[in-house]
Amino acid sequence: MAPFDTELMTINASDSELRSHVEEAELPPLLPALAYATGDLTLLREDLRPDPTLAAMPQGGLSPDQQATIRELAVRALGRFRDAGSVPAPPPSEDQLLMMMEHTVGARDMSAYLPLLEEELAYRGEDRRAPTWRKDALAPERELTVAVIGAGMSGLLVGHRLRQAGVPFVILEKDGDVGGTWLENSYPGCRVDNPNHNYSYSFAQRHDWPYHFSTQDVLLEYFKKCADDFGIRPFIRFNTEVLSAAWDDAAQRWELRVRHGDLEETLSAHVVISAVGQLNRPRYPTEIEGFGSFSGPAFHSARWRHDVDLEGRRIAVIGTGASAIQFIPEIARLAGKVTVFQRTPPWLAPTPDYHAEVSRGQQWLYRHVPAYSEFNRFSIFWKMGDGVLANVRVDPSYPPRHNAVSAANDLVRTMLEGYLRSQLADRPDLLEQVIPSYPPGAKRMLRDNGIWPATLKRDNVRLVTDEIAAITPAGVRTTDGTEHQADILIYGTGFQASSFLAPMRICGRAGIDLHDHWSGEPRAYLGITIPGFPNFFCLYGPNTNIVINGSIIYFSECGVRYIMGCLELLLRTGKTAMEVRKDIHDEFNERVDAENRRMAWGWSDVRSWYKNASGRVSQNWPFTLLEYWQQTLRPDPGHYELS
């Protein structure tokens, strides 16, 4: 089922209209899409391949001459396609598809990616990741119930899959609606920082995203529509918070304690799937002296107080992470004065179209050129993921430096520093404050279209880099003794990311408490399953986050397929419980830890939410996206103890 209208339209445009649409095209995926549409593989000219090392550059780093030639070829191919009635050629063979994929990103020897591409293309609403089995065919008499915690992006996805497989389930959601992070984060300026043509379900792609990086309201509507179209709202219990879950070994079930308003009750399920995410509990800087003493309104970015009027007020903001640099430019337009407290400056990835609407020409191409939108999705997948992973990997032979981990990383650093210098050439004082001293990729890189430097330059904005000594009733005092007075205090201080599954109490076999078991070191096998916790699965669990801005929806789709494979295994074998072997789990985590230490975010000692208190990288997946896909295709029964 394709919940969004991805039907292609017949081309009636004149040659000059075609030319003007192509003028606005994202070029690297255009010739491969036209080769797909027309069957004309001569379009995939060797001299028009993007250079894979420039994948992340505008237009894939294609030279102006290459761009002009591609446009010319594209206009002619589109004209021929139109004149032949807009009838797509027969689907390409696998070899041909591989040629198209490799041409899109310029890389070679990508055959391992081919099956992944075929799934991601999800051409015309196909759903190649749907379960291929149904419970009523596999084990009709068997009682198997599933409780899912959370109705955000991952919870909706797993609900959809359970419904497709005919497995009874309930989704328990603490909020009053679906959407998770896109429901809770309503701060001004909130938008996705991964392009929507990639940040969307593979089987529910839209060709008509209004922006490249859509705003929170658009994302929330997307997930609400998915919930409706998937038909899973009736399975969600809203305003129902899970307090605890305990495994009953005798009954081979989980007992869940839930709260609904003032009422508490116990539910039971054979399987529990946590879809609570990593970023849903705000982190307040309680470590700062005087926290809580501020006399005016004080709130967190994820708990925005829309009732507080910001017009003309003095606002203090703590933090310059992904949330803060989205809302500060917005509030600076209203406020009398904004004082920004920065502890560590972010690297900024220049993104000219960050706030731009998708142009008319580009929209037209998505609606009229078969597979253009899908090849564009793959191009984004590559250039924000596996295609640039080498740039953040530590080169052990590279001379140790605090701000680069390899020659390639240093090249990126030089480019990013050049961007900051160009934006703040007139403000050397600010420049000194904003150039990071750590390698690109050690913290999350933030997107910028010029708005952040422009905001810092405003007369009513002051960037403070002196350390915070205390929060006072009147504002924020820094260690130099200055009291920065404010009427309103906003925390852009992030989330309790390392406290996975908190504040829920999860007790597994023999009553062992998951948080005691972890003792501050959350780990799981594939981010999904934990020894001692039978039939308990996580989505967006430990070590499934990505730094260089791939789509977390991709991880959820892989994880959900794996979990569905586990349910299939239980049903096929007639076993009641499955628990990952400790040796498999431990060996996996050793590999993850070793590889994370070889990545910029694990090598650098800069502070980030990717690490837990001991400094272990508990959030990130250090390998390729392809490897996560390969490892989660299906569970290996040999990795589990089945009871």
Residue 439 lies near ligand NAP (rule: CB under 6 A):
no
Positions in 604-623 near ligand NAP (CB under 6 A): 607, 609
625 contributes a contact to ligand NAP by CB under 6 A: no
> 444 or 585, CB closer to ligand NAP?
444
Give CA–CA dist 379/195, Å, rounded. Answer: 11
Farthest-apart Cα atoms in the chain, separation: 75
Please choose, out of 120-128, 188-196, 228-236, 534-542, the segment that lies near ligand NAP by the rule CB under 6 A: 188-196
Taking the least distance from each CB to ligand NAP, the nearer of 170 and 348 is 348
Q: Does 192 bind ligand NAP (CB under 6 A)?
A: yes
> Based on CB atoms, which residue is closest to ligand NAP, 552 or 570?
552
CB-wise, 185 or 529, nearer to ligand NAP?
A: 185
CA angle 44, 46, 52 (to 5 degrees): 95
Cβ atoms of 420 and 434 closer than 8 Å: yes
When asked if residue 280 is in the footprint of ligand NAP (CB under 6 A), the reply is: no
Are the C-beta atoms of 108 and 382 separated by less than 8 Å? Answer: no
Q: End-to-end CA distance of the chain, in Å?
A: 36
* β-pair partners for 215: 191
User: Does residue 490 contact residue 301 with C-beta atoms inside 8 Å?
Assistant: yes
Using rule CB under 6 A, residue 323 touches ligand NAP: yes
Residue 492 interacts with ligand NAP (CB under 6 A)? yes
Residue with smaller CB distance to ligand NAP, 298 or 530: 298
What is the C-alpha to C-alpha distance for residues 55 and 591, in angstroms, rounded to an integer? 28
Stretch that binds ligand NAP, among 91-99, 157-165, 185-193, 400-408 (CB under 6 A): 185-193
Give the residue, chosen from 11, 158, 232, 322, that forms a contact with ligand NAP under the rule CB under 6 A.
322
In angstroms, give the least distance from the CB of 467 to ligand NAP: 8
Our CB check for ligand NAP shows the closer of 129 and 444 to be 444
As a whole number of angstroms, the distance between CA 437 and CA 224 comes to 41
Q: Give 614-617 contacts, CB < 8 A, sequence gap 24+.
A: 614/520, 614/521, 616/521, 617/543, 617/593
Q: Is position 444 an interface residue for ligand NAP (rule: CB under 6 A)?
A: yes
CA 554 to chain centre: 8
* CA 318/CA 492 separation, integer angstroms: 6
Q: Which is nearer to ligand NAP, 282 or 637 (CB)?
A: 282
For residues 332 to 351, the per-residue mask of contacts with ligand NAP, x marking binding by CB under 6 A and - elsewhere, is ---------x-xx-------
Is residue 191 involved in binding ligand NAP (CB under 6 A)?
yes
Interface positions, 557-596, toward ligand NAP (CB under 6 A) = none
The reply to whether 320 sits near ligand NAP by the rule CB under 6 A is yes
Using DSSP, state whether 426 is helix, strand or coil.
coil
* DSSP code per residue over 241-284: EEEEEEEETTTTEEEEEEEETTEEEEEEESEEEE---SS-SB--
Shortest Cβ distance from residue 282 to ligand NAP (Å)?
A: 8
Contact positions vs ligand NAP (CB under 6 A): 191-193, 279, 285, 287-288, 301, 318-324, 326, 341, 343-344, 444, 468, 492-495, 607, 609
